[in-house]
């Protein structure tokens, strides 16, 4: 199968935005499709509409990627012409579809690779994608290799990034029912660790759940230095509707002054403890008056008395506060990133239960 791209952006031509051709190629190769792309500097609705006429109308998969303001105009211009069969994706892109054809209009300022991956899901029924939290590639490989001893009907690749793994399984399509049963067995085995099957990041999913449930959130961060809140805001347009504030209470005095953490608790249990983290979450709920809070403390580096890597995360609402303890290895930067992704994972689990 072949799909066509029209990229209209002077920001890309001028080098202000890096159009990720390599990453796009990787997304498409995972789906087993080829592509052609056209890059044009100056936006023209005439060129865009000609592209739509020649590709979408001729039953192809095609994508128009241009700047946000121009996407809005194209949508308004074509929404009636192209019919009622369309859906808005995350309030950023629009997907038109008919029979075997799809047309997606995507702002180049957003995560267009994710939208493209999402739109191609239906042409890859022989492919299973799992985004897994907290399991390393050796653990996953051992399980899949054992399964392959009884079923040689699939191949797989694993891409690991810290505590996250993306697993791509390709089935031979020899026996549809057999493939289905194997897929269900794999999904069941990793059920508690799978956070996505469409390539979305942990922060994307957390944000989608906050938006879906119309819930607000505040953060109190120590070891991560605001990285959890920053990642949520950087990766999700419209975050201001749901993220109220983030307090970076790095020193003990900041925890006392900004979050009213009891000095006795700090002195008895230390600044990096479940007791301190619980107090931070409890008091942030009172101060921020949001639906949910996330508090996090820990050690990103070794100290004279203790090895780095321990992390305490509190996630709560007005009814309850859940505590989580983790131990990470790696460089200071790697530990902070692992703590950040872990906070999102537990936030997702908490939101999905409600």
pLDDT score for 130: 92
Q: In terms of domains, do 232 and 331 share one?
A: yes
CB 197 within 8 A of CB 204: no
The CATH number of the domain holding residue 143 is 3.30.70
> In the numeric block, which tokens belong to residue 311?
């992390």
Reported as type and span, the H/E element at residue 303 is none
Q: Give the single-character DSSP code of 238.
A: T
Domain end, chosen from 122, 146, 161, is at 122
Distances (CA, A) of 329 to 270, 281, 336: 21, 25, 10
Domain end, chosen from 58, 88, 122, is at 122
Q: In terms of domains, do 222 and 177 share one?
A: no
Q: In terms of domains, do 279 and 184 share one?
A: no
From CA 59, how far away is CA 211, in angstroms rounded? 34
Return the higher-pLDDT residue of 313 and 56: 313
Q: In terms of domains, do 60 and 85 share one?
A: yes
Residue 125 has pLDDT above 60, yes or no: no
Confidence of residue 173 (pLDDT cuts 50, 70, 90): low
Q: In terms of domains, do 236 and 331 share one?
A: yes
Q: Which residue has the tokens 């920053």?
A: 230
Q: In terms of domains, do 213 and 185 share one?
A: no
Which tens digits make up the pLDDT trace of 203-240? 999 999 999 999 999 999 999 999 999 999 999 989 99
Q: In terms of domains, do 103 and 215 share one?
A: no
From CA 102, how far away is CA 55, in angstroms rounded? 9
Reported as type and span, the H/E element at residue 255 is helix 252-259
How many structural domains does the chain have?
Answer: 3
Structural domain boundaries enclosing 175: 125-196
Q: Is the dihedral of CA 237, 239, 240, 245 positive or negative?
A: negative
Of 103-107, 282-286, 342-346, the range with the lowest mean pLDDT is 103-107
Which tens digits make up the pLDDT trace of 293-304? 999 999 999 887
Q: In terms of domains, do 144 and 222 share one?
A: no
Q: In terms of domains, do 76 and 152 share one?
A: no
Q: In terms of domains, do 24 and 71 share one?
A: yes
The CATH number of the domain holding residue 330 is 3.90.950.20
Q: In terms of domains, do 175 and 212 share one?
A: no
Average the pLDDT over 147-170 and give the result: 88
Distances (CA, A) of 344 to 165, 172, 232: 15, 35, 9
């Amino acid at each position: 199968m072949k799909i066509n791209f029209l990229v209209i952006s002077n920001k890309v031509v001028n080098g202000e935005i890096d159009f990720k051709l390599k990453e796009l190629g990787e997304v498409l190769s995972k789906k087993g499709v080829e592509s052609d792309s056209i890059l044009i500097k100056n936006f023209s609705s005439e060129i865009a509409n000609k592209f739509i006429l020649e590709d979408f109308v001729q039953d192809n998969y095609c994508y128009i990627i241009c700047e946000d303001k121009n996407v809005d105009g194209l949508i308004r211009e074509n929404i009636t012409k192209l019919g009622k069969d369309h859906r808005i994706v995350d309030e950023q892109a629009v997907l038109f579809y008919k029979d075997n054809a799809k047309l997606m209009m995507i702002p180049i300022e957003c995560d267009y690779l994710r939208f493209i991956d999402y739109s191609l899901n239906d042409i890859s029924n022989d492919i299973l994608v799992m985004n897994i939290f907290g399991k390393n590639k050796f653990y996953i490989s051992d399980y899949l290799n054992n399964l392959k001893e009884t079923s040689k009907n699939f191949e797989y690749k694993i891409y690991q990034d810290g505590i996250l793994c993306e697993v791509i399984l390709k089935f031979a399509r020899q026996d549809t029912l057999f493939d289905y049963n194997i897929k269900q067995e794999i999904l069941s085995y990793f059920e508690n660790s799978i956070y996505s099957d469409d390539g979305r990041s942990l922060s994307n999913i957390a944000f989608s759940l906050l938006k879906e449930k119309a819930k607000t959130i505040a953060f109190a961060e120590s070891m991560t230095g605001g990285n959890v809140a920053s990642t949520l805001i950087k990766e999700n347009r419209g975050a201001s509707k749901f993220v109220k504030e983030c307090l970076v209470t790095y020193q003990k005095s900041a925890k006392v002054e900004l979050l009213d953490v009891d000095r006795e608790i700090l002195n008895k249990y230390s600044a990096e403890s479940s007791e301190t983290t619980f107090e931070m979450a409890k008091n942030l709920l009172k101060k921020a008056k949001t639906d949910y809070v996330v508090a996090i403390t820990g050690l990103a580096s070794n100290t004279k008395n203790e090895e780095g890597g321990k992390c305490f995360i509190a996630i709560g609402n007005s009814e309850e506060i859940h505590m989580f303890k983790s131990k990470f290895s790696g460089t200071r930067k790697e530990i902070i990133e692992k703590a950040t992704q872990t906070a999102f994972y537990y936030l997702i689990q908490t939101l999905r239960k409600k």
